[in-house]
Structure 1
Amino acid sequence: MKIPAVPPVGFVLAYEYLWSSQAAAREDGMKTYPAAIILSRDIGAATPVAYVVGISHKAPTEGERAIEVP
């Protein structure tokens, strides 16, 4: 798949999150996690900025800052 020049809002991508406990031994994450682009901005730089949130398969717990995705 070709990477779009401007990150499209709503686009789901695979994100390799590097946990701090693994950072001493690795340069990249051990596995990929789904994430969604929620905001894309052109700030005049060479590369646009995208704001991304993680997606989980578990429902949010009481008091957790999260939104359940249907």
Structure 2
Amino acid sequence: MSLPRPEPGLVIRYSYLWWQEQRAGREEGTKDRPCAVVLTSEQRDEDILVVVIPITHAEPRDKTGATELPPRVKAHLGLDDERSWIVFSEANRFIWPGPDLRPLPGSAPPEFAYGFLPPKLFAVLKQRMIAKIRARHFKAANRTE
């Protein structure tokens, strides 16, 4: 088993904990899902702090906090054919690799990443996420403990 190095734009399989679930007292995500790494930061103790945003099949109520993934991108990542959205109005923070990183279904030996988002799409997501943060319309579930 070899883990990829976390890098911005990498899409991993992760047990994502929605912010409202954490607020309600949950400590574990209810579903393993693709998530995009948006930020990494090496800490003084050599740990790597990672921030991920989720990809979901559920059409978001707030269209200003998500964007639909183009079918071409989903095919490039090896994801299913259903419509999906990448949510940039919330995130999870964790220390890499953490207990919530999951292997891709059917991968042997275990693989943990689908691939990278196209650079242009990632740049747009990053700008929209920054705008949400500046407007204070961004939430993050801290899972570093």
The TM-score bracket by the shorter chain reads 0.5 to 0.7
Q: CA deviation at 1:58?
A: 4.4
Residue in 1 that maps onto 2:7: 8
Flag the structure with more relative contact order, 1 or 2, with Cα contacts below 8 A and sequence separation at least 6.
2
Q: TM-score, normalised by structure 1?
A: 0.60
| Mapping 1:1-70, distance limit 5 Å | 2-4=2-4, 6-17=5-16, 31-62=31-62, 65-70=65-70
Q: CA deviation at 1:31?
A: 3.8
Which sections of structure 2, spanning at least 5 residues, go unmatched?
A: 71-145
Q: TM-score, normalised by structure 2?
A: 0.35
Q: 1:60, 1:68 within 8 Å by CA — same for their partners in 2? A: no
Give the 3-state SS of the residue equivalent to 1:54 in structure 2.
Answer: strand
RMSD: 2.8
Q: CA deviation at 1:37?
A: 0.3
Deviations 1:14-46 (CA, angstroms, capped at 9, x unpaired):
11246679x6xxx96564111010001012123
Q: CA deviation at 1:2?
A: 1.9
Q: Distance in 2 between matches of 1:14 and 1:57?
A: 14
Identity of aligned residues (%): 32
More moved, 51-60 vs 31-40: 51-60
In the alignment of these two chains, the number of paired residues is 66
Q: CA deviation at 1:64?
A: 5.1
